Amino acid sequence: MVAVSAPRPVPRPKVHKGLIAGGVVLVWLLLWLLFRDTATLALGASELTPLHRWVNELNDAVGASRNSNPLFLYFFNEIRLVIDGFVTFVQAMIAQPSFGRPVPVVGWLGVVAIAGFVSLAAAGWRVALLAVAGFAFLGLQGLWQESMDTLSLTLAAVVISLLVGIPLGIWAGLSDRVNRVLTPVLDFMQTMPTFVYLAPLTLFFLIGPASATIATLIYAAPPAIRITAHAIRAVPRTTVEASESLGATPRQTLLKVLLPSARGTIVLGVNQTIMAALSMVTIAALIDAPGLGKTVVKALQTLDVGTAFNAGLAIVVLAIVLDRVTTAATERRTLPRWALLGGLGVTGVAVYLSYTYLWAAEFPASGVEVGSGIRQGTTAATEWVQDTLPVLTGGFKDLVTSALLNPLQALLAGSPWFLVALVVVALSVLVGGVRAALTSAVCLGLLVATGLWQDAMTTLAATLVATVMVMVLGVVVGVWMGRSRRVDRLVRPVLDAGQVMPAFVYLVPFLALFSASRFTAVVAAVVFAAPVAIKIIADGVRAVSPATVEASTALGGSAWQTIVKVQLPMARGALTLAANQGLIYVLSMVVVGGLVGAGALGYDVVAGFSQGQLYGKGLAAGVAIVVLGVMLDRLTQAAAKRWTN
């Protein structure tokens, strides 16, 4: 008999997920044409849902019981009084008239001297000169008291953040269980845009420095906890074992081995905490935090670009000084004793003079003409740009708005809400599987519950457009940096400086170029998010094995082919991480853009702070922002896991 082999089953052709996603989008477009502007859950600017009214009533009830409810009398009010007292004390020392004096305890000359001496001891004489020049420049801008108010709130928040964050970080570094518990909490705290912290805190701690400080420390504490835990865990196990074998107790091992070995990384965590605190303090001006942020907010609301630029420049100067001092402090250095003693003596004399004499306490009025010149020059430059370059700036603005923003907003905000929800869930299944789809479904349901669906879709459209622009910029510049060490050395310091600047500062130049509009917020978001995306992509491209790149070149591949077919595919993990971080940064900045005409959720949040009857709506907008952030974060993380596996 001749054996007859069974016929092989014909394999079913696999359908590429990209084609399925394209089909879903095509069906969406067809249905949008049929059901456009129906069931969009639109809500007018002054309209409220039952949820918003309930939150307003809750706010009123909380306010009425603030001085009778035991929870407020013995918990929230006590916390507010303690933090208010601490902030007031710091302000009394360097910013506000205090103790019956018309000036602070330490005047401008003493503060400049202290800044110089601390910088000298921690970072060397070059950084000390930078600190002295930077602080003096704050006075020359005519913004000395505002700068000291900002510095006071920053220092108060940083001190509390470090008192809480470093011990928690050490605990998480020593205990796997604590680390597992803290990690999702820290992820959630860092995913939330900065605006979101403000509204619920005012419910319990009122508007003022206490709420601003608490919001700032909540935002600033995660870097301290996370980096401290990483520093402890990064200490070589052999070093710890050697200490234990010599009979050291756990306490001795911690104090004499782990902490000294992790010192540099922990100081880096302090640096990140300071930068986060300074950024948040400026935004907390929306809840009546004193300082430079309040000046910027008022100027943005009145479209006074000159004043906004002058105050924004002061924030940048303060950020650069604090960043350089703490960054340089990570390196061990020793100064001659005579330099330290001499600096201490000069500082003591300057503090005494600033305490005793008015001329050394109040910054001379004759020396503040620099700020006036900056304001006038910026205003003149703004008027020149608006009069001379409207074709260039207006053309770019109209192109992006008409080609990207308007179509995507019309699709998202003009489609029936259930259609958008079905499409998002379907795409979530393709991108991240069933778990990602469930997360998206829950988030979409919460968006509907907030009553701000259409505003959320408008914000989502601006976020997606800005993220696409960030990724295009990130790939172009990141690949350039990744392939050229020289370009990296030139561009990276600019990116580092860009990451130092608080979010508010980015709004000012683009307000001058493009006036108040949602496009202004989009462009500011792109510039705000681009540095982190560019650096991630550059590092990913550089991490591709040089042998692989050389093999591609040896086989005749051009530079373009090597980039497209070798380096970018092998750096896909960095690309997805850049997209994830870009989305989160963009979302936070698009919301801040509510101050310059971005509308949607950003406007709802700002209006909730300024108009009592819209408080509930503003709080719901904050929740909607968090929900959007969580959904986008989880989708990009799921995509990253699938793509890199």
pLDDT tens digits, one per residue of 542-592: 888 888 888 888 877 788 888 888 888 888 878 888 888 888 888 878 777
Q: Average pLDDT, stretch 293-299?
A: 84
Alpha-carbon distance of 152 to 540, in angstroms, equals: 39
**Counting Cβ atoms within 10 Å, is residue 367 exposed (0-12), middle (13-18) or buried (19+)?**
middle
Closest CA to 510 of 393, 387, 398: 393
Report the C-alpha dihedral over residues 276, 282, 288, 292, rounded to 10 degrees. 140
Task: Return the residue matching tokens 């350039």.
Answer: 480
Q: Output the pLDDT for position 509.
A: 79
Helix segments in 192-328, DSSP class H: 198-205, 209-234, 237-245, 250-253, 259-261, 263-283, 292-301, 305-328
Task: Return the residue matching tokens 């477009």.
Answer: 29
Residue 368: pLDDT band with limits 50, 70, 90: low
Q: Which range, 31-35, 325-329, 491-495, 512-516, has the best average confidence (pLDDT)?
A: 31-35
Contact 124, 351 (CB under 8 A): no
> Is the model's pLDDT at 8 over the cut of 60?
no
DSSP for 301-315 reads HTT-HHHHHHHHHHH
Residue 117: pLDDT band with limits 50, 70, 90: very high
Q: Output the pLDDT for position 241.
A: 77
Q: What is the DSSP letter of 362?
A: S
Closest CA to 121 of 299, 337, 416: 337
Which residue has better confidence, 194 or 432?
Answer: 432
Q: What is the DSSP letter of 258?
A: I
Domains defined along the chain, listed by start: 389-645 (1.10.3720.10)
Residue 50: pLDDT band with limits 50, 70, 90: very high
Q: Output the pLDDT for position 125.
A: 85
> Is the model's pLDDT at 204 over the cut of 70?
yes
Q: Output the pLDDT for position 445.
A: 94
> Is the model's pLDDT at 613 over the cut of 70?
yes
Phi then psi dihedrals of residue 583, to 5 deg:
-60, -45
Q: Output the pLDDT for position 1.
A: 44
Q: Average pLDDT, stretch 335-342?
A: 81
pLDDT in tens, 385-434: 777 877 777 888 888 888 888 999 999 999 999 999 999 999 998 888 88
Question: Who's near 249: CB < 8 A, 6+ residues apart?
Answer: none
Q: Output the pLDDT for position 500.
A: 67
Q: Rounded to 5 degrees, what angle do the CA atoms 412, 414, 417 make? A: 70
Of 30-39, 182-191, 341-350, the range with the lowest mean pLDDT is 182-191
Q: Output the pLDDT for position 644.
A: 59
Q: Output the pLDDT for position 89.
A: 92
Question: Who's near 316: CB < 8 A, 6+ residues apart?
Answer: 500, 501, 505
Q: Output the pLDDT for position 15.
A: 52
